[in-house]
């Protein structure tokens, strides 16, 4: 277990991803002592999300996060595969903004450290202990004390598993594979349904294209690897996949909402609280909103446990609303049956026929409303 940290921190944040770093910086700006514990020896170098919604851009920019002025702006987006003019949202930073996750994490780390947060790598949390003295995070070499601990440590959260939490939602039944390829000449696709499969291809960096593929016939026992991806991609699109993937991953359409406040001294944000399939940037942008609102609830001027209770209730409502949107979109995006095609066509006609509906969906996609 090692020694105890001499002076307890006001807040320990477990996990140095975008949500944890944004929270740490916001709290440190309020003169709270903040310790960030990250299991890895450096920041995650894998891009799991690359899109900031307008709401997130507004939160990050007005709090002084640097390096956001020259991001590529997308003025169009989609809801369930139906194109949306995002400028109709009529809000600051209207649109979507592209930044790979390692770069966003780097910018947030520099900003959080300048704000006064203490960032420590190679410090995996092994256990969480709650007692009359507060809450402690046990690492291999030291036990750190705090008044409050925040789990921002992803879908496999150690904090969540140690403290325990209620969960609602569903485990996935649709199986997908995604990979990053060192190519830039693939035809751009957005949930394109061809030959019974669903394909997506989008350039996420100057030398990298991310592809994603779903076959309704795939199940838990299906081997989804580089060979299967190349074979199925060619069958669906007629295009060969050149080059070896720099990253490959399989996942499902699971959407799980965990209690954001499993204990008055422990909060969960980001994927630790809301673990879902990546649709429309919901996960990353929900995480940034989690961090911003929790920083307000944990501020020295807040109402203590009452403020945290209100924060938890509001975030759980927001997560459930996002889960409903994701489940609806996932069905229209990934199912290839006649009914899903008809429903998507009906939505497209409704959007094309109603500027008011398109504006409402633009606000949803921008993160400006639940």
- Quick: pLDDT tens for 181-199: 999 999 999 999 999 999 9
Query: What span, in angstroms and rounded, lies between the C-alpha atoms of 17 and 363?
Result: 26
- Check residue 306 and give its pLDDT: 77
Claim to verify: residue 161 and residue 182 sit in the same structural domain: no
What is residue 339's predicted lDDT score, i.e. its pLDDT?
95
Beta-carbon-side half-sphere exposure of residue 168 (alpha carbons within 13 Å): 10
- Inform me whether the pLDDT recorded for 2 exceeds 70: no
Closest by CA to 107, choosing from 58, 66, 47, 63, is 66
Q: Which of 21-35, 248-262, 301-315, 329-343 has the lowest mean pLDDT?
A: 301-315
Q: Rounded to an integer, what distance in angstroms lies between the CA atom of residue 295 and that of residue 277?
A: 26
**Residues 128 and 224 both lie in one domain:** no
Sorting pLDDT into bands at 50, 70 and 90, what band is 24?
very high
Give the model confidence (pLDDT) of 127-155 as tens digits.
999 988 789 999 988 999 999 999 999 99
Say yes or no: 212 and 120 in one domain. no
- 68 found inside a domain: no
pLDDT band at 303; cut points 50, 70, 90 = low
* Whether residue 40 sits in one domain with residue 145: yes
More confident residue, 312 or 7: 312
Name which residue leads in pLDDT, 104 or 283: 104
* 26 and 143 share one domain: yes
Place of tokens 């994927």: 271
Reply yes or no on whether the pLDDT at 52 is more than 60. yes
Q: What is the reported pLDDT for 3?
A: 63
Q: Secondary structure of the chain in the HEC alphabet?
A: CCEECCCCEEEEEECCCHHHHHHHHHHHHCCCCEEEECCCCCCCCCCCCCEEEHHHHHHHHHCCCCCCCCCEEECEEEECCEEEEHHHHCCCCCCEEECCHHHHHHHHHHHHHHHCCEEECCCCCCEEEEECCEEEEECCCEEEEEEEEEECCCCCCHHHHHHCCCEEEECCCCEEEEEEECCCCCCCEEEEEECCEEEEEEEEECCEEEEEEECCCCCCCCCCCHHHHHHHHHHHHCCCCCCCCCEEEEEECCEEEECCCCECCEEECHHHCEEECCCCCHHHHHHHHHHHHHHHHCCCCCCCHHHHHHHHHHHHHHHHHHHHHHHHHHHHHHCCCHHHHHHHHHHHHHHHHCHHHHHHHHHHHHCCCC
Domain that holds residue 215: 175-252
The whole-angstrom separation of Cα 20 and Cα 269 is 8
Q: Are residues 38 and 184 in the same domain?
A: no
Q: pTM score, two decimals?
A: 0.93
Does the residue 369 lie in any domain? no
CATH number of the domain encompassing residue 243: 3.30.70.2450
pLDDT tens digit string along 102-131?
999 999 999 999 999 999 999 999 999 998
Mean pLDDT of the chain: 92
Whether 74 is in a domain gets the answer no
* Statement: residue 15 has pLDDT above 60: yes
Is residue 44 included in any domain, yes or no?
A: yes
Q: What percent of the chain has pLDDT over 70?
A: 97
pLDDT at 21: 98
What is the percent of the chain with per-residue pLDDT over 90, rounded to a whole number? Answer: 82
Q: What is the CATH number of the domain that holds 267?
A: 3.50.50.60
Q: Is there a single domain that holds both residue 208 and residue 289?
A: no
Whether the predicted pLDDT of 47 surpasses 80: no
For 221-257, the pLDDT digits (tens) are 899 999 999 999 999 999 999 889 999 999 999 999 9
Q: Which of 198, 220, 252 is the last residue of a domain?
A: 252
pLDDT at 1 over 50: no
Last residue of a domain, one of 252, 270, 299: 252
The mean pLDDT value for 210-217 works out to: 94
């Amino acid at each position: 277990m090692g020694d105890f940290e001499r002076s307890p921190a006001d807040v320990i944040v477990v996990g140095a991803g975008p949500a944890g770093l944004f929270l740490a910086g916001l709290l440190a700006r309020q003169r709270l002592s903040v310790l960030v514990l990250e299991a890895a020896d450096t920041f995650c170098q894998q891009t799991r999300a690359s899109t900031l919604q307008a709401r997130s851009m507004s939160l990050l920019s007005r709090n002084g996060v640097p390096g956001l002025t020259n991001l590529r702006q997308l003025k169009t987006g989609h809801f369930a595969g139906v194109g949306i003019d995002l400028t109709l949202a009529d809000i600051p930073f209207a649109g979507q903004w592209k930044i790979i996750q390692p770069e966003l994490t780097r910018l947030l780390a520099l900003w959080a450290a300048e704000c006064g947060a203490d960032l420590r790598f190679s410090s995996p949390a092994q256990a969480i202990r709650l007692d009359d003295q507060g809450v402690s995070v046990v690492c291999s070499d030291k036990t750190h004390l705090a008044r409050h601990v925040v789990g921002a440590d992803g879908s496999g959260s150690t904090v969540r598993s140690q403290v325990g939490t209620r969960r609602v939602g569903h485990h996935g039944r649709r199986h997908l594979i995604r990979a990053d390829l060192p190519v830039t000449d693939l035809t751009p696709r957005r949930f394109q349904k061809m030959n019974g499969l669903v394909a997506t291809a989008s350039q996420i960096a100057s030398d990298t294209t991310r592809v994603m593929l779903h076959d309704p016939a795939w199940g838990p026992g299906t081997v989804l690897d580089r060979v299967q991806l190349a074979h199925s991609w060619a069958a669906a699109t007629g295009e060969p996949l050149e080059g070896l993937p720099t990253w490959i991953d399989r996942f499902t359409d699971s959407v799980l909402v965990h209690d954001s406040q499993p204990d008055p001294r422990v909060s969960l944000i980001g994927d630790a609280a809301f673990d879902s399939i990546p649709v429309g940037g919901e996960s990353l942008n929900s995480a940034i909103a989690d961090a911003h609102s929790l920083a307000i609830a944990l501020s020295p001027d807040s109402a203590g446990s009452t403020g945290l209770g209100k924060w938890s209730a509001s975030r759980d409502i927001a997560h459930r609303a996002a889960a409903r949107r994701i489940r609806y979109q996932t069905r229209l995006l990934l199912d290839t049956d006649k009914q899903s095609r008809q429903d998507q066509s009906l939505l497209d006609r409704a959007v094309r026929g109603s500027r008011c509906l398109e504006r409402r969906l633009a606000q949803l996609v921008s993160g400006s409303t639940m």
